[in-house]
Structure 1
Amino acid sequence: MGLVRGTHEVFVARSDQDIEAAQALRALAFGLDVTHDRDAFDTTQHQILVRDLRNGQIVCCFRTRVFIGAQLEQSYAAQFYDLSGLSGFDGQMMELGRFCVHPDASDPDIVRMAWAALTRFVDACGIKLMFGCSSFAGRVVADYADSFALLRARHLGPAVWRPAEKASDPVRFADHARAQPDLQKAMQHMPPLLRTYLLMGGWVSDHAVVDQHMKTLHVFTGLEIDAIPENRKRLLRGLA
């Protein structure tokens, strides 16, 4: 996973200090009322960090874990979504979570480096599907009616893989989406990571979930590697 380009380095956390740096960045980037964002999944998933070599600052991080079949029940997403249908997916799956960038970082190479590292990992491990929870800031459902309408109309996942409801109070797109969404508002309010997934052919659940700890609404997001357009695959592999 180690990758150095220009003034940035991508690496796998090797120490408690590395993990704490990722946890601190997550708390800052997600606007939490704590100094470090910690949970039990930090001990079961690989922590990937991007460091600015000029000052040693961690400017981006995310975590990953590979699953197959029924192992999905051990994923972060399985807390909120019924993934029993997806457990029948034929091939290795990788969960991507807690992806964030330092709020003061503006260099586009940071995100490019992160995707380059992810591409290397996907190719090396033969991953067939990436998945995770894509977060909308805040918990005001009405703010995202246009986005939910667009997701419902164009980006729902295949019925065979699509997660069923598990959370006690799911936010069903059918109940909250506008009949005629404003496409500009829909894309403007779409999380950047989710926009990236959708551009590559990603799909979502038919409902969102309120995450009280992260103070967000999130949707389950899947990306089948074979469905990524060939031009985008070439671009990603060029970065790697």
Structure 2
Amino acid sequence: MAEPDLLLSRGRYRARLAAGSEDIAAAQALRTLCFRTAGTDSDAFDGLCAHVLVEQAGSGVLVCCFRLLVLEGGSSLRNSYSAQFYDLSRLERFEGKLAELGRFCMHPDWHDPDILRIAWGALAGLIEAQDVKLLFGCTSFAGTSAVPYLDTFALLRQRHLAPAQWPVLEKAPEVVRFAAELQEAPDMKLAVQAMPPLLRTYLAMGGWVSDHAVVDRQMNTLHVFTGLETGAIPEARKRLLRAVAG
């Protein structure tokens, strides 16, 4: 009989919902390791979100995790984690359910691409079941210096900015403005190499980003607001996600 919290099981890995405080503590420990925060990575949003754990099926070793906060409509955006850092007032007109993807991380010792596929398959099942129209979140770059990511930011500015009807405005006290910082054409190879895998996946499905990055010294990251309208995902990508999600 299947476990009640099991979302997906494929090959060496399984994805399931956190079942209680011990599972959430395990996710927080992995987040602390990945984000290298000074203390345990936890906040008030942990109590509001569903937490997904990706584990090695045989050993139960936690290799990836993320949390998901489902909102009934754009007017609820002010209650999201991202709203602390970005002015999302224009997006409050968005109609339909939204879901905020947060604290997505993979164990630094595990590099199997199947882990990311299982995570996205589980996520796809959750957002389709709840009829989510917009997936969004803060996508992190390691460290707080923009220098290693100038080519990536130039590429984002050139090809992947938010649609004109959904501008994401500045709110945080310390930001990297793409237009002000980046003057030259990006080196495409360097731009892609420095891009986090999560962001590459978002963009491959038609996602878009803010025109600036927030400097988050508490998390020791730079991050960009990232949005993905589920109706805009190419059909071929949808079929792949559905196939993984079963």
Structure 2-normalised TM-score?
A: 0.94
Identity %: 57
Which residues of structure 1 form unaligned runs of 5+? none
Task: Report the secondary structure of 2:240's partner residue.
Answer: helix
* Counterpart-to-counterpart distance in 1, 2:203 and 2:12: 29
Task: Report the secondary structure of 2:211's partner residue.
Answer: strand
* Counterpart-to-counterpart distance in 1, 2:28 and 2:12: 22
For residue 61 of structure 2, what is the amino acid of its counterpart? Answer: Q
Task: Report the secondary structure of 1:2's partner residue.
Answer: strand
Q: Does 1:212 align with 2:239?
A: no
Which residue number corresponds to residue 71 of structure 1? 76
Please, which of 132, 143, 148 is the counterpart of residue 137 of structure 2? 132
Where does 1:1-240 land on structure 2 (aligned, <5 Å)? 2-34=7-39, 36-67=40-71, 68-240=73-245
- CA drift of 1:128 comes to 0.7
For residue 9 of structure 1, what is the amino acid of its counterpart? Answer: R
* Counterpart-to-counterpart distance in 1, 2:145 and 2:7: 39
Say which is worse superposed, 18-27 or 102-111, in terms of deviation.
Answer: 102-111
Is the contact made by 1:146 and 1:178 (CA closer than 8 Å) also made in structure 2? no
- CA drift of 1:108 comes to 2.2
* Counterpart-to-counterpart distance in 2, 1:139 and 1:22: 23
Which residues of structure 2 form unaligned runs of 5+? 1-5
* Counterpart-to-counterpart distance in 2, 1:122 and 1:189: 28
- CA drift of 1:177 comes to 1.5
- CA drift of 1:228 comes to 0.9
What is the count of residue pairs matched by the alignment? 239
Is the contact made by 1:148 and 1:176 (CA closer than 8 Å) also made in structure 2? no
* Counterpart-to-counterpart distance in 2, 1:149 and 1:9: 37
Superposition CA RMSD, Å: 1.2
Change in 2 beyond 3 A, CA 1:144/1:7 = closer
4+ long deviations beyond 6 Å: none
